[in-house]
Structure formats: structure tokens, C-alpha cells
Amino acid sequence: MRSTKAINAVERLKTRSGNPHYAAVSMPGGYFYLIERSAEGSNKLSEPLPMDDFIAFVNAREPARPRKVSKLDQAMEAQIGRSGKRAGGPSSDEDA
């Protein structure tokens, strides 16, 4: 049952990378390693790791998916940027 976390990490990797050929191999003792299947055979991409280390390895393998930004989020960030410029310091008119 605990292997579900490792399998889900590999499924997320497949989605992020667009490569459906990644697979997790479970070993006795709760160890896992990552392979990439190809026509020539399987390419072992990691050494056997405990589940938590395996998940960390898989999550670091490909960059995270870009965060979706809504129009409201963009407008809020623009507003924060504008208000930060006004509060940034004295303007050149005050120096004269």
C-alpha cells in the first residue's frame, strides 16, 4: 500500500516530462528505483532508494509544471508593483 506514493510520484513525472516510458521498480525491503523503458531495453536511472528518498529523487528529476496564473492574479501583481513604486522613496521633485 505504501508503494502507491512512489507510483504516484512517477505518474506525476510522466505528466511533467511528457515521457510515458518512466517506471518505478519495487524491491524487497521498501526500496525503489527508476527506469526508463525503450526499444533497446530498460535504462536504470537511479540506485535502489528508500521510498522517501526515491520520491524526492523523482520530484527533482524534471522541472515543476508552471503555475497557472489567472487574470485576477496578474492584475493583483500589477497593482502591488504600482503601489510599491509610489512608496519606494522620494521623487526627484522633492530634491529641488
Q: State pLDDT tens for residues 57-96.
A: 998 887 766 677 888 888 888 888 888 765 455 554 555 4
The CA–CA distances, whole Å, from 59 to 37, 42, 91, 92 equal 19, 20, 47, 49
Q: Global pTM?
A: 0.62
Residue partners of 38: CB distance under 8 A and separation at least 6: 21
End-to-end CA distance of the chain: 72
Residues 31-66 pLDDT 10s = 999 999 988 888 899 999 999 999 999 988 877 666
Q: Which residue has the cell 528505483?
A: 33
Q: Locate the domains of the chain by residue range.
A: 1-88
Rounded to whole angstroms, how far apart are CA atoms 92 and 40?
Answer: 68
